[in-house]
Amino acid sequence: MKATVITYGCQMNEYDTHLVESQLVSLGADLVDGVDEADFVLINTCAVRGKPVDKVRSLLGDLRKLKASRGLMIGMMGCLAQLDEGQQLARTFEVDVLLGPGSLLDLGAALESNTRFWGLQFRDELHDHIPPAPQGKLQAHLTIMRGCDHHCTYCIVPTTRGPQVSRTPDSILRELDGLLAAGVREVTLLGQNVNAYGIDQGARVAGIPSFAQLLRLVGASGIERVKFTTSHPMNFTEDVAQAMAETPAVCEFVHLPVQSGSDAVLRRMAREYTRDAYLQHIRHIRRHMPDAVLATDIIVGFPGETEEDFQQTLDLYDEVGYDSAYMFIYSPRPGTPSYRHFADLPREVKTERLQRLIVKQKEWSQRRNAARVGTLQNVLIRGDAHDSGFLEGHTRGNHPVVIPKALGADGPGIYPVRIEHATPHMLYGHVVDAAGQPLPARPQLAPEAAAVSSPLAML
């Protein structure tokens, strides 16, 4: 069987895709890149917002035509598969295999039966299942817990992924050992609420360390760079910032979603913290890591948000001075309390506010990135950029970086890069030697040619 997996959504979904791809290979399937070559197409779905659901619906329509014409087998997994909405789509579009986020280890049984399989029950074994390490990659994700015990009124995750369950540190470190052996140099610890690790259903789990302690354990493993996502402000404690500052491998990057700067909106979201409490976390981070890179999530146009509420969000953005932000228009999701109980705002109001927030974000991102011009950054180069004459990567602070391929970097690796130019969303630079001097151009691309084709020349 030739199989392909199409992934929508978050890094947790990317991790789950790797898990099921490894299962497919162990079952004897050949992984192919596209639908045209595949006998089995598995869609890993997201249900957090309406847009990825619309994309899945459109894709299923196309796949059903191929199913009729050449017998294609269709599968659907992930958050949408756990919901009534997803199960109705599966019936409508004749999906053969349906797996919820907790039933991914049932994929083999589903394929073997060759009948529609509604595998939506949670399996405890999933938490201790260690997928094989990705080969030929310098960075990898590592799930340390699944599910979430918070119940934000806009969020479908507690319904789709269930209550929080933390993996044991032994299981996590064994997976990390495999990643190190495969050559991974940067790992991102994943969880719906990663800094609540070890506090399942409100209680500390016996034998499981705090998240701050886990950061120290992972940082002492020999891995060069450690990141984590996503944090909930309710569970962000000062000892996490202290552990980050005292563990060299842990990168000085914090993604701490605020969602809104208005206490009234935060209450309707059931976020369990206030604006002042959030800002206290920022002060703790800055105290221990003055140069920390801060990112956030913001939902624009939550039901009941007034112009004054939105202005408080803009003011908070200025007070924190984020390096970057993921910004979303509120998307009502069936099954959530906000969908059932709150009236949505007009689309044009939400769109106009989002545009103002984007302007604010670009201003701050430009300011933060411009301050890095002239600095030396350790950049993990992943591979070719869109322009084949250049390579792309990211700093310890998650800033995207582009460098000329002909000036110092042979390919994937971690390089010292002098930043020479910045835009709101990109840094540009050159690899330097131990003395901080630019490396000479290789014969195949003269400096003049590099300058002509450089992305800098297009700005």
Structure-token pair, residue 51: 């847009």
- Taking alpha carbons only, the member of 264, 268, 322, 334 closest to residue 298 is 322
pLDDT for position 102: 82
Token pair 């319904």 is found at: 159
- Tell me the whole-structure pTM to 2 decimals: 0.87
- C-beta atoms surrounding 258 within 10 Å: 24
Residue 148 assigned as binding residue: yes
pLDDT of the residue at 121: 53
Domains for the chain: give ranges and CATH numbers: 2-119 (3.40.50.280), 125-370 (3.80.30.20), 376-458 (2.40.50)
pLDDT of residue 458: 31
Parallel/antiparallel/unpaired status of strands 413-423 and 376-384: antiparallel
| 155 assigned binding-site residue | yes
The SS3 assignment for 459 reads coil
152 is in an annotated binding site: yes
**pLDDT given at position 116:** 52
251 labelled ligand-binding: no
Tell me which residues of the chain have a pLDDT lower than 70.
114-127, 406-408, 440-459
Angle between helices 169-181 and 211-219 (to 10 degrees): 30
Query: Measured between alpha carbons, how far is 130 from 40 in angstroms, rounded to an integer?
Result: 24
Query: Cα separation of 419 and 394, whole Å?
Result: 12
- Closest among 302, 303, 305, 310 to 343, alpha carbons compared: 303
Q: Is 10 annotated as a binding residue?
A: yes
- Give the per-residue pLDDT at 127: 65
User: Residue 377 is inside which H or E element, if any?
Assistant: strand 376-384
The H or E element spanning position 292 is none
Residue 62 token pair: 């196309």
SS3 of 314, please? helix
**CA 190 to CA 166: how far, in whole Å?**
11
pLDDT of residue 448: 39
